[in-house]
Amino acid sequence: MKSMPTLKHLLLLMVLAVTTPGAAAATVDIPPPGPDARCPVCGMHPARFPDWVAAVRFEDGQVHYFDGPRELFKFLNDVPRYAPDKARGDVAAVAVTEHYGGRLVDARKAHFVVGSDLMSPMGHDAVPVATANAARLFMANHGGVAVLGLEDFDQRRVALLEDGDIEGLATAAPDTAAPAGTAAADIEVPEAYIYELPPVQKNSAAYLTLVNHGDGDRALVGARTPVARKAELHTHINDDGVMRMRQVERIHVPAGGTTRLEPGGLHMMLFGLTRGLTAGDDVELELHFEDGSTADVVAAVRKRGGGGGGGGDGDHQHHHHH
Residue ranges per domain, the chain?
Answer: 7-172, 183-321
Element spanning 197, H or E: none
Contacts of 269 (CB under 8 A, 6+ apart): 203, 204, 205, 231, 232, 233, 234, 245, 247
Question: Comparing C-alpha atoms, which of 198, 124, 206 is closest to residue 165?
Answer: 124
**What is the spatial distance between Cα 150 and Cα 21, in angstroms, rounded to a whole number?**
11
Confidence of residue 8 (pLDDT cuts 50, 70, 90): very low
- Dist CA 189 CA 268 (whole Å): 14
H helical segments located in the chain: 7-13, 69-77, 79-82, 132-142, 155-163, 166-172, 183-186
The whole-number pLDDT of residue 19 equals: 36
What's the confidence (pLDDT) of residue 24? 59
Residue 313 is predicted with a pLDDT of 36
How far apart, in whole angstroms, are the C-alpha atoms of residue 161 and residue 172? 11
Please provide residue 33's backbone torsions phi and psi, each rounded to the nearest 5 degrees: -70, 145
Distance (Å) of CA 259 to CA 27, 219, 250, 315: 32, 10, 12, 18
Residue 94 CA to its chain's centroid (Å): 16
pLDDT of residue 175: 55
Return the pLDDT at 315: 38
Q: What's residue 107's pLDDT?
A: 94
Region 24-50 average pLDDT: 92
Cα(first)–Cα(last) distance of the chain, in Å? 27
Residues 86-103: tens digit of each pLDDT: 999 999 999 999 998 899
Residue 11: is its pLDDT beyond 50? no
d(CA 58, CA 86) in angstroms, rounded, equals: 8
More confident residue, 298 or 254: 254
In terms of pLDDT, which residue wins out, 12 or 143? 143
pTM, two decimals, is 0.54
Residues 244-269 pLDDT 10s: 889 999 999 999 999 999 999 999 99
Q: Write out the DSSP string of 252-305.
A: EE-TT-EEE--TTSSEEEEEEESS-B-TT-EEEEEEEETTS-EEEEEEEEE-TT
* pLDDT for residue 117: 93
Check whether 194 has a pLDDT greater than 60: yes
Position 66 pLDDT exceeds 80: yes
**Confidence grade of residue 176 (pLDDT, cut at 50, 70, 90):** low
CB count in 10 Å sphere of residue 276: 15
- pLDDT of 83 over the 80 cut: yes
Parallel/antiparallel/unpaired status of strands 187-195 and 294-302: parallel
> CA-CA distance, 174 to 151, in Å (whole number)?
11
pLDDT of 316 higher than 50: no
Question: Mean pLDDT throughout 141-148?
Answer: 90
Mean pLDDT for the stretch of residues 53-71: 96
* pLDDT, position 263: 93
Identify whether the C-beta of residue 289 lies closer than 8 Å to the C-beta of residue 244. no
Residue 183 near residue 291, CB atoms below 8 Å: yes
Q: Which CATH class is domain 183-321?
A: mainly beta
